A and B are shown apart, each in its own frame.
Chain A
Amino acid sequence: GQNIDQPTEMTATEGAIVQINCTYQTSGFNGLFWYQQHAGEAPTFLSYNVLDGLEEKGRFSSFLSRSKGYSYLLLKELQMKDSASYLCAVGSWGKFQFGAGTQVVVTP
């Protein structure tokens, strides 16, 4: 199986940094993906990792360690508009399994 675990909710202050962790159990996959989903809207792609290490895309970065079964999404310089659910997903040849999502609440 590919059980994917991420925290249910995190709260952080505007301007701060938040790290959302994702752990998984899988026998193999092509890539690990992060999506953002605002309430009532579609998920939108943020970042993904195929190889171990850090991928940086502006304020968002994602990290993967296959040996540890672990990934994280780093959100820097938090803005109010970053309040959303963040979904971790493991992808393998057209099959994508999503975690339940982490609701991030950004406070002034």
Chain B
Amino acid sequence: DTAVSQTPKYLVTQMGNDKSIKCEQNLGHDTMYWYKQDSKKFLKIMFSYNNKELIINETVPNRFSPKSPDKAHLNLHINSLELGDSAVYFCASSPDREQPQHFGDGTRLSIL
């Protein structure tokens, strides 16, 4: 199946822990993104990468560190998790930075 796939789908962990979310797309797209959707369903961009290069960093705390080993992968590492990090995190990709995006199924992060 051609898709944007992210793992894990659910992540429940304690405050202060460090966790990673992985994302892969097999659509041959050049641009990948991370979004955060909070409890009010507001979808907010965090990072954009184009051909492995960071192009957008939207005032995200530096506890969040994205890594793109190649243009098909964009992982998100989060240090020292806080209660406010509880949200759904969506990975997305698009053919280039102007085209519509395909979203992964989301990772539901709950901080205890």
Decide if A93 touches B55 in the complex (CB within 8 Å).
yes
A-B contact pairs, 20 of them (CB 8 A): A31-B98, A33-B101, A42-B90, A42-B105, A43-B43, A44-B103, A45-B102, A85-B41, A87-B43, A91-B98, A93-B55, A93-B98, A94-B48, A94-B97, A95-B56, A95-B58, A98-B44, A100-B40, A101-B42, A101-B43
| Distance (whole angstroms) from the CB of B107 to the closest CB of chain A | 11
Query: Number of residues in B with C-beta < 8 Å to the partner?
Result: 23
Instruction: List 19 extra interface pairs beyond A43-B90, A85-B41, CB under 8 A.
Output: A30-B98, A31-B98, A37-B41, A42-B104, A42-B106, A43-B43, A94-B33, A94-B48, A94-B50, A94-B55, A94-B56, A94-B97, A95-B45, A95-B56, A97-B45, A98-B42, A100-B40, A100-B41, A101-B43
Count the A-B residue pairs with Cβ separation under 8 angstroms: how many? Answer: 51
B84 beta carbon closer than 8 Å to chain A? no
B25 beta carbon closer than 8 Å to chain A? no
Cα of A87 to Cα of B58 in the assembled complex, Å = 20
Contacts of B105 in A (CB 8 A): 41-42
A35-49 residues with Cβ-Cβ distance < 8 A to B are 37, 41-45, 48
A70 beta carbon closer than 8 Å to chain B? no
| Nearest B residue to A43, CB-CB | B103
Cα of A94 to Cα of B48 in the assembled complex, Å = 6
| Nearest B residue to A87, CB-CB | B43
Q: Contacts A43-B43, A43-B90, A85-B41: A96 and B33 contacting too (C-beta < 8 A)?
A: yes
A1-58 residues with Cβ-Cβ distance < 8 A to B are 30-31, 33, 37, 41-45, 48
B74-106 residues with Cβ-Cβ distance < 8 A to A are 90, 97-98, 100-106
Decide if A94 touches B90 in the complex (CB within 8 Å).
no
| Distance (whole angstroms) from the CB of A29 to the closest CB of chain B | 10
